[in-house]
């Protein structure tokens, strides 16, 4: 995924706005995820405050490295592999896009322009694809049967 300089600027500026109230941003995100997919709630710890700050600080690291995404590969691979242990499967990643968009719209209001929303979708597409590729390598033997 190659982000343009304009997209990087939009992501940085909007993240800075969102991160002024990280607890609110995290609640908006997770409340929406659990409203959309009630069954997802059981995967997470009962206290979501710590979880929320980990999510927002990880997004902060990602946003600070948008010019050099390759450098983040080892960190993202480790994060994605830990998620296998949390019971996360590749299809779960797509469920995060709507709550992300919702959180941005609620947090940014009028500043959530179509360009800002599109930059986030693009960055998140790259981020989730990198995590999925690192944690669920394609089965080299798929389609090959001995019997």
Which stretches of the chain bind ligand HEM, using CB under 6 A? 40, 43-45, 54-55, 58, 79, 82-83, 86, 88, 92-93, 96, 127-128, 131
- Host H or E run for residue 57: helix 48-64
Least Cα distance to 82 among 138, 34, 43, 29 occurs for 43
Among 64, 114, 124, 67, CA closest to 94:
124
User: What's the min distance (Å) between Cβ of 49 and ligand HEM?
Assistant: 12
Beta carbon nearer to ligand HEM, 29 or 146:
29
| SS3 state at 117 | helix
Closest separation in Å from C-beta 82 to ligand HEM: 4
Q: Which is nearer to ligand HEM, 11 or 88 (CB)?
A: 88
Closest distance to ligand HEM from the beta carbon of 35 (Å): 14
What tokens does 90 get? 């590749």
């Amino acid at each position: 995924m190659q982000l343009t300089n304009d997209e990087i600027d939009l992501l940085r500026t909007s993240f800075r706005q969102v991160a002024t109230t990280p607890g609110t941003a995290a609640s908006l995100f997770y409340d929406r995820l659990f409203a959309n997919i009630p069954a997802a709630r059981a995967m997470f710890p009962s206290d979501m405050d710590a979880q929320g700050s980990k999510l927002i600080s990880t997004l902060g690291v990602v946003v600070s490295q948008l010019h050099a995404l390759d450098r983040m590969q080892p960190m993202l691979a480790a994060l994605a592999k830990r998620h296998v242990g949390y019971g996360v499967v590749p299809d779960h990643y797509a469920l995060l896009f709507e709550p992300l968009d919702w959180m941005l719209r609620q947090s940014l209001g009028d500043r959530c322009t179509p360009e800002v929303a599109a930059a986030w979708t693009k960055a998140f597409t790259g981020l989730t694809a990198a995590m999925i590729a690192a944690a669920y390598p394609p089965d080299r033997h798929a389609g090959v049967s001995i019997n």
